[in-house]
Amino acid sequence: MQCPRFVLIGRDGVVNRRLGSGFVRSWSQFEFLPRAVEALRLLAKHGFQTIVISREEGLALGLMNEAELQALTSRFLLEVALSGGHILQVLSCAHPRESDCGCLAPLPGLLQLAIAEHSIETGEAYVICDSVADLEAASSSRCRARWFFGTISPKKLSLLRMG
């Protein structure tokens, strides 16, 4: 019996467009990136279990509440499912950036939580992300990382090449 294959994927900047200096707080602000829904459908079609990892600092800052986050997440999951994709789980961190939280990249807390909860073989898991910090978290979790170039800046690219 083959072990399930897992993809751990960032939400903002990989699945949906990041807001300039703000946080996605409602469905009206959520915009799928081109081909993201199709990619999620193909992952499901090819047997990958997809877990979405999301930083919800807007919740920590009081810019949204739990009910609003749940509504946003439910709609996101529905839209993916209606297009033939499947998200196994969404893991979120709602700690403020300046906290000592181990969830937030470059620390691998949320990745390690997903690995533990689903008995993931890390050498067989992929992390799809859009930041150097996320790559560091994936590396320290011993997952295979893939950089999504949708929102990359030349400065981020030079940091990646140096590392």
Query: Domain containing 43 — which CATH number?
Result: 3.40.50.1000
Give per-residue pLDDT as tens, 138-161. Answer: 888 887 766 655 544 445 444 434
Q: How many domains does the chain have?
A: 1
**CA-CA distance, 125 to 128, in Å (whole number)?**
10
Q: What is the mean pLDDT of the chain?
A: 84
Nearest to 134 by CA among 116, 152, 118: 152
Give per-residue pLDDT as tens, 93-151. Answer: 988 878 878 887 888 889 999 999 999 988 888 888 888 888 888 888 887 766 655 54
In which domain, by residue range, is 50 found?
5-162
